[in-house]
Structure formats: structure tokens, C-alpha cells
């Protein structure tokens, strides 16, 4: 594996520029976009109008960024839509269909408590990067995007169940829908959690990928008090195989409180999955059965249901970090500034434990209990990322685990990659 991949951060004045976040950060075969608000790039202010106009502007901003790096909208692998009122999704979908007329990315849809600048909607894209980021040496030419749907899992007319590109599969967030009836399963949180995970498993089986190849799970739950019940079910799915059980492998994980979910579901689960075979024309010797490298350090908080960082190919996926002191397991003393600093320290410790640095981060996702605290968060954030290199997402949620004020997750580049299995 080559070691000269670079983190490539870019901005265009055709889309809103934030002093602490790059519009897109490419690494290896993916471009990670900052979540786009409905801001007019000329004025920096919210566009006039309602949800329709705001949705259009979010997509226009994503399109401007995409085109500024010589890509097209059909290069998008995943779209994530955050909205403050779940009832707005019919209008959002009408706009959505005008930007994706043939190809459909995988998609996650969730209503949250608040968004920056009181926006009604925020839209984020993950983009393929076929040329890679090795200077003057394209990694594999124009890689092929592989899309797949199976009738063993719910089929949605506006999203693809899984989109594979290079060494990752990005799945659409799965609702607790019975694929035979297309309705939410009967029962409560346990039954719904089980159905979400069954749907993910069915999708993976349809493309001959083991369940234990999942590197990151995000659980969107309507009532955070349900998480204990969710975890009871979760533990029956992970680890899934004898090999995974032998090493106690569990994916990186984030738990996010949703204000509402589509179809009034209680839970929705999103998965990012390794793809050891890669997508053509990657050479066989570069792609075959790459190793998942999972790592925990005692210098950061350890959770029995999540691995702190799971590396695969050219990315490290880091579990969401709470402001916990790793020595005591308790929330740090103080307010939002102290909690923000502790979250970022934990991420720094984790990434350094695998011989990387903060400058390797390509994406940071921030979940805030009170969106009004964002200015204080940015004050601390700027001391860790003075150049504003990572792409970024900021979302306001009604509650967080352990009643903390902030939770932060991250994705880092892994220049050295992960090696193939040697038999």
C-alpha cells in the first residue's frame, strides 16, 4: 500500500465558505462534504422562502462544490438529509427528484431538534473520487460505482439500498420495515431494532458481504431512554461470526437522538461496510480481502458495544466521543467549553494511538444539545483545527447519552491502508 495519499481540502466561492470547515475534503477514493445549509453564497445569509426554497439552495450548494472539483451529481454515493420538521419531507422529496433523475444514491433521512442559523433543512453529500489523492498518480482510474437493491429488504423509490465504491459500501439507513408488507413491524423498540438489523443483514447477504464487515453503525433513536432495549437486541447481532467473537469485534458506533423518523419509526440504523473486493478496475492484488483493523486505547473512554476506531483500507472510522474522563469514566467538570475540549481530546488520543494525527481527520460530526452553544464550541474547536481542514456537520439534538451537552464523531484518513490477508 502506498503511503503518499494526501488530505486534499478545497473551497469554492460558488458555495458558502465557513472559517472552520472545508467544503470538501478528499482522501483516497472519497470526497467528504461539509453539510450544506440553505445559504446564498453571495450574501452568506439564509435564502428567502420556506422548505422548498431552502432545500433547493442546499442542493445547489452541494452541486456547486461537486462541479468545482470536476465531478457531477451522479458521483454522489450517499445523501444525508436533516430536517427540523419531518412533515416537510414530501416537499423535500419533490425537490430531491429534480437533482437525481436517474441514478439514486444511498440516503439517510432524519428529523432533528435544531440546525445552525435556524435552518429548516441541512443536506450533506459523500462523493466518489475515482482519481484518488496520490499526487500525480491516479490510484485506479475511473472506478465503477456498484449499486444494488434486493427484495429481501425494503425498497425505496428515492434511494438505493447500497452503493459500493472502491473499498466501501454505504447503505441507506434502514427503517424497521417488513419488506413483504412495506410497513413498520408490529411491536415496540426491540422488534423495530431487530428488523432494522435484519434488513441490513439481508442487504449485505445479497451482495455476498458478511455482517461482520460493518465498520461503523449509527443508531438514530426517537427516545434515548430506549437505548438499553436497543442494546439488548444489538448484542444478539454483534459479533456475528465465530471469528468476530474470538476477537470480540464490534463496529465503531454512534447513537443519535432523532426528533422524528420517517413512518413514525422508533429507530433507524445506518451502516458503513468494508468492501474488500473493491470495485473495478482496482487490481486484484490491491483489493483482495483487506483486513479490518480495530483498536481501543485505555487512554480514551472504552465502550463494550463499540470499538473506538475501525480502520479499513484508507479510512479510520471513529466512534462518537462523549466528554468523559477516560480515567474515571465520568463527565468532565464544567460547561460546554470543557465538554467540547474533552470530546476532541478523546478523539486526538484515539487517533494518536494508531499512529495518526489530527491533521489526518477528513470529517467531524458534532451533535449539540443546545444549538445556541455553537459559538462556544467553535471557540474550542478552532484551537484544535485552526486551518479548518476537516469537513463538518453540526446538528442540534434534544438529548445525548449520559445527559451530556455535546458528542463528536470523526473520520480519518489512513494513508498506509490496511494489508490483505496472507494465507
pLDDT tens per residue, range 363-400: 999 999 999 999 999 999 999 999 989 999 999 999 99
The mean pLDDT of 101-108, rounded to a whole number, is 97
Say if residue 104's pLDDT is above 50. yes
The answer to whether domain 143-284 and domain 289-423 are alike in fold is yes
pLDDT at 339 over 80: yes
In b/e form, how buried is each residue of 223-257, taking b as 16+ CB within 10 angstroms?
Answer: ebebbebbeebbeebbbbeeebeeeebbbbbbbbb
Question: What integer best gives the mean pLDDT of the chain?
Answer: 95
Q: Does domain 1-142 have CATH number 3.30.1330.40?
A: yes
Q: Which pLDDT belongs to residue 358?
A: 97
The third-level CATH classification (topology) of the domain covering 143-284 is 60s Ribosomal Protein L30; Chain: A; (3.30.1330)
Please compute the mean of the pLDDT values over residues 35-40 and round it to a whole number: 98
Domain extents in the chain: 1-142, 143-284, 289-423
Rounded-to-integer distance, Cα 20 and Cα 23, Å: 10
- Residue 1 pLDDT level (bands cut at 50, 70, 90): very low
How far is Cα of residue 12 from the mean position of the Cα atoms in its chain?
A: 23
Spatial CA neighbour of 346 closest among 324, 330, 328: 324
Q: What is the pLDDT of residue 222?
A: 98
Residue with cell 435564502: 47
Residue 2: other Cβ atoms inside 10 A: 14
- Dist. CA 1–CA 373, nearest whole Å: 42
What is the pTM assigned to this prediction? Answer: 0.97
Q: What three-state secondary structure class fits 150? A: coil
pLDDT given at position 423: 52
User: Strand, coil or helix: what is 222?
Assistant: coil
394-to-30, 239, 373, 391, 397 alpha-carbon distances in Å:
20, 31, 11, 11, 10
pLDDT for the residue 53: 98
**How, if at all, do strands 214-221 and 252-257 pair?**
parallel
Architecture of domain 289-423: 2-Layer Sandwich (3.30)
Q: Is 182 left (phi over 0), alpha (psi -120 to 50) or beta?
A: left
Cα 24 to Cα 291: distance, rounded to the nearest angstrom: 27
- The mean per-residue pLDDT over the stretch 69-74 comes to 97
Q: Is 12 exposed, middle or buried (0-12, 13-18, 19+ CB in 10 A)?
A: middle
Q: Give the pLDDT confidence of 125-182 residue by residue, as tens digits.
A: 999 999 999 887 777 668 999 999 999 999 999 999 999 999 999 999 999 999 999 9
Q: pLDDT band for 287, please (50, 70, 90 cuts).
A: low
- Identify the three-state secondary structure at position 377: helix
Amino acid at each position: 500500500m502506498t503511503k503518499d495519499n494526501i488530505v486534499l481540502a478545497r473551497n469554492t466561492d460558488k458555495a458558502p465558505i465557513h472559517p472552520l470547515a472545508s467544503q470538501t475534503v478528499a482522501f483516497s477514493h472519497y470526497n467528504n462534504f461539509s453539510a450544506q445549509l440553505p445559504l446564498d453564497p453571495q450574501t452568506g445569509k439564509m435564502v428567502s422562502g420556506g422548505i422548498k426554497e431552502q432545500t433547493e439552495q442546499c442542493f445547489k450548494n452541494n452541486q456547486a462544490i461537486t462541479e468545482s472539483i470536476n465531478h457531477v451529481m451522479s458521483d454522489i454515493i450517499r445523501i444525508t438529509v436533516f430536517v427540523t420538521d419531518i412533515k416537510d419531507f414530501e416537499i423535500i422529496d419533490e425537490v430531491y427528484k429534480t437533482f437525481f433523475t436517474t441514478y439514486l444514491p444511498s440516503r439517510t433521512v432524519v428529523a432533528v431538534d435544531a440546525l445552525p442559523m435556524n435552518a429548516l433543512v441541512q443536506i450533506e453529500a459523500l462523493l466518489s473520487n475515482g482519481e484518488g489523492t496520490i499526487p500525480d498518480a491516479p490510484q485506479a482510474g475511473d472506478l465503477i460505482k456498484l449499486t444494488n437493491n434486493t427484495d429481501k429488504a425494503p425498497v425505496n423509490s428515492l434511494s438505493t439500498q447500497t452503493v459500493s465504491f472502491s473499498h466501501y459500501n454505504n447503505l441507506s439507513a434502514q427503517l424497521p420495515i417488513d419488506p413483504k408488507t412495506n410497513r413498520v413491524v408490529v411491536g415496540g423498540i426491540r422488534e423495530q431494532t431487530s428488523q432494522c438489523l435484519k434488513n441490513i443483514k439481508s442487504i449485505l447477504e445479497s451482495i455476498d458481504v458478511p455482517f461482520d464487515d460493518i465498520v461503523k453503525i449509527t443508531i438514530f433513536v426517537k427516545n434515548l431512554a430506549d437505548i438499553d432495549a436497543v442494546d439488548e437486541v444489538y448484542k444478539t447481532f454483534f459479533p456475528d461470526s465465530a471469528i468476530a467473537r474470538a476477537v470480540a469485534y464490534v463496529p465503531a458506533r454512534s447513537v443519535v437522538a432523532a426528533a422524528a423518523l420517517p413512518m413514525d419509526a422508533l429507530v433507524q440504523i445506518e451502516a458503513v461496510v468494508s468492501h474488500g473486493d473493491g470495485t473495478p478496475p482496482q487490481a486484484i492484488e490491491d483489493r483482495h480481502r483487506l483486513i479490518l483493523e480495530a483498536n481501543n486505547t485505555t487512554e480514551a473512554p472504552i465502550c463494550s458495544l463499540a470499538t473506538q476506531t475501525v480502520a479499513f483500507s484508507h479510512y479510520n472510522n471513529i466512534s462518537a466521543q462523549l466528554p468523559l474522563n477516560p480515567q474515571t469514566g465520568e463527565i468532565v467538570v464544567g460547561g460546554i467549553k470543557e465538554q467540547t475540549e474533552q470530546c476532541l481530546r478523546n478523539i486526538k488520543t484515539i487517533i494518536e494511538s494508531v499512529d495518526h494525527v489530527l491533521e489526518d481527520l477528513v470529517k467531524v460530526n458534532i451533535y449539540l444539545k443546545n444549538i445556541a452553544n455553537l459559538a462556544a464550541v467553535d471557540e474550542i474547536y478552532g484551537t484544535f483545527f485552526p486551518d479548518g481542514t476537516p469537513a463538518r456537520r453540526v446538528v442540534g439534538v434534544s438529548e445525548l447519552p449520559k445527559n451530556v451537552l455535546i458528542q463528536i464523531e470523526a473520520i480519518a484518513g489512513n494513508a498506509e491502508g490496511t494489508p490483505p490477508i496472507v494465507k
